[in-house]
Amino acid sequence: MRWPGQAGLVWAVAMSPGIYWWWAALTDQLGVNPAEALIRGLGESTLQLLCLVLLITPLRVTMGWVSLARWRRPLGLAVFAHALLHAVAYAWLDQSWDLAALMLDVWDRPFITVGMVATLLLLAMALTSWNGAIRALGARRWQALHRSVYAVAVLAVLHFYWMRMGKNHFGEVWFYGLVLATLLGWRAWRWLRQRRFS
């Protein structure tokens, strides 16, 4: 079933975590270190939405919920928007918009490096998410580009893991890593099965 404005509504709901984190920061609701809470909260919201995007295809295939395919684009754009807000919060609150310091941090700290690479891949997918981009790039090249979401999933977990190494606190890292590994593993299993019977 489809109704007018469905994609916009899905995107608006998906953006609510990012809106909440910025509202909480601006109204001093994030405790003694609001900058760190905001940056990390936006990062975790990005991971959660990424898991949701990658869950769409397994649900569509196994449960027959074909209408979920329409949610992929607005949810994917929400993933990028959260990643961008995460990067903006870091550049503003952690680096004070100092471009030289920012570039040095990206170069020196691997978890910042992989986070920025993941954000750039999401940017490329966001910029080519409209129907005209499929015609301009060709369906095969467009599909190859948008499969970069799998690399983003790996980089996101690696970014989270390296960030948590300093505090030796990995509980949430293993949780998201397991969820994303399951979602990617299902795709690998399906691809191998299709090749076997093709």
Residue-wise pLDDT tens digits, 133-173: 888 988 899 999 999 999 999 999 999 999 888 776 778 88
Cα gap 37→56, rounded to integer Å: 29
Residue 1 placed within a domain: no
Residue 144 placed within a domain: yes
pLDDT in tens, 25-70: 989 898 888 999 999 999 999 999 999 999 999 999 988 888 888 8
pLDDT at residue 4 in the model: 52
**Structural domains of the chain, count:** 1
Burial, 52: exposed, middle or buried (Cβ in 10 Å; 0-12, 13-18, 19+)?
A: middle
HSE (side-chain half, CA atoms, 13 Å) at 66? 1
- pTM of the full predicted structure? 0.91
- Give how far the C-alpha of residue 114 lies from the chain's centroid of Cα atoms, to the nearest Å: 13
Residue 84 placed within a domain: yes
Q: Which domain range does residue 57 map to? A: 6-197
